[in-house]
Amino acid sequence: MAFDREQLKRRLLSGESLEVTTGGGQYEVWAEPYGNPPAVYYEGRSFPFEELDGVISSLLENMANQEVRCRWIEPRGVQVKSCEEAYRLRADEPT
């Protein structure tokens, strides 16, 4: 599967997670733009959200060098901007 900068950024910002497989294991990459503080998670560590573009650059470089394989994984939750929005989404879920 081919990845490009804009697709990675758009999908990470929308709450999706990317599974990255290396020669030594796996980790997930995801962003929490509405976290307190906002953050991006990469290589098992938390980074300031402002570093998202740098994380994406690093991922693309590692993919180009065939050091990692990546795939999108099913979202386990929904990122929302407010508690009210979260409550409404939760109320709409089938029981």
Contact 59, 20 (CB under 8 A): yes
Rg (CA), the chain: 15
- The pLDDT score that the predictor gives to residue 22 is 93
- Size of the chain in residues: 95
> How many domains, in total, are found in the chain?
1
Phi, psi of 38 (to 5 degrees): -60, 140
Domain that holds residue 67: 5-92
57-78 b/e (C-beta count within 10 Å ≥ 16 → b): eebeeebeeeebebeeeeeeee
- The pLDDT score that the predictor gives to residue 15 is 86
d(C-alpha 95, C-alpha 92), whole Å: 9
pLDDT digit string (tens) for the chain, length 95 residues:
678 999 999 999 988 999 999 999 999 999 999 899 999 999 999 999 999 999 999 999 999 999 999 999 865 555 555 566 655 665 665 65
